[in-house]
Amino acid sequence: MEDIIELIAMTLVIGGLCIALPLVILWMTNKRKNHEIDKKTEILMTMLEKNPNLDPAEVLDKLDMSSEDGKKSLKERLLEKLMGGCTCTLIGIVLFFTHLFGFVFLGDKTNGVVLGGVLTAIGIALIIYYFVSKKMLQSEIATEEKRITKQQISE
C-alpha cells in the first residue's frame, strides 16, 4: 500500500514539475506579451485620434525603442545562455565524477551520478543553443548593434 502511495506521489510531483510548471510559465509569458501589445495598440490609437497626420510606423518604432531601453540586447541574452550552459556543464561534470568515484555528497551514489548527468546534458544543450542561435541571428545582432551605436552617438 505504501508503494502505491509513493508511486502516486512521485507521479504527481514529476507531472507537476514537468507538465504543469512549464505550462503555467508559458501562459504567464503569453499573457504578459499580449498585455504589452494591447498597451501599445491603445497608445497608438490614442495618438492617431489626437493627430491623424502621424505616421503609424514611426510611432511604433518609437514605442519599440522606448520599451527596449530597460531590456537586455540579443547578444547579452545569448551570452547569458552560454554562461548558464558552461556553469551547468561544469557542475554536472563535478557531481558526476565525484559521485562516480565514491566522494559521495548527496547520500546515494546513483542520485549524484544521475543528477550530474542531467546537469551536464542541460549545460551542453544550452551551449548548443548559443552557437545555433548566434549563427541564425547574426543579421539581427548586427542590426541591433548598429541601432545601439547610432543611439549612443546621438546622445
Q: Is the pLDDT of residue 75 over 70?
A: yes
**Domain limits for position 8:** 1-69
Is the full-model pTM beyond 0.95? Answer: no
* Same structural domain, 61 and 85: no
User: Domain boundary residue among 50, 69, 88?
Assistant: 69
Q: Is the pLDDT of residue 69 over 50?
A: no
* Same structural domain, 97 and 119: yes
Sign of CA dihedral 134, 140, 142, 145: negative
User: Domain boundary residue among 11, 40, 69?
Assistant: 69
Question: Tens digits of per-residue pLDDT, 91-113?
Answer: 999 988 888 887 766 567 778 88
Q: What angle do CA 75, 79, 82 make, to 5 degrees?
A: 145
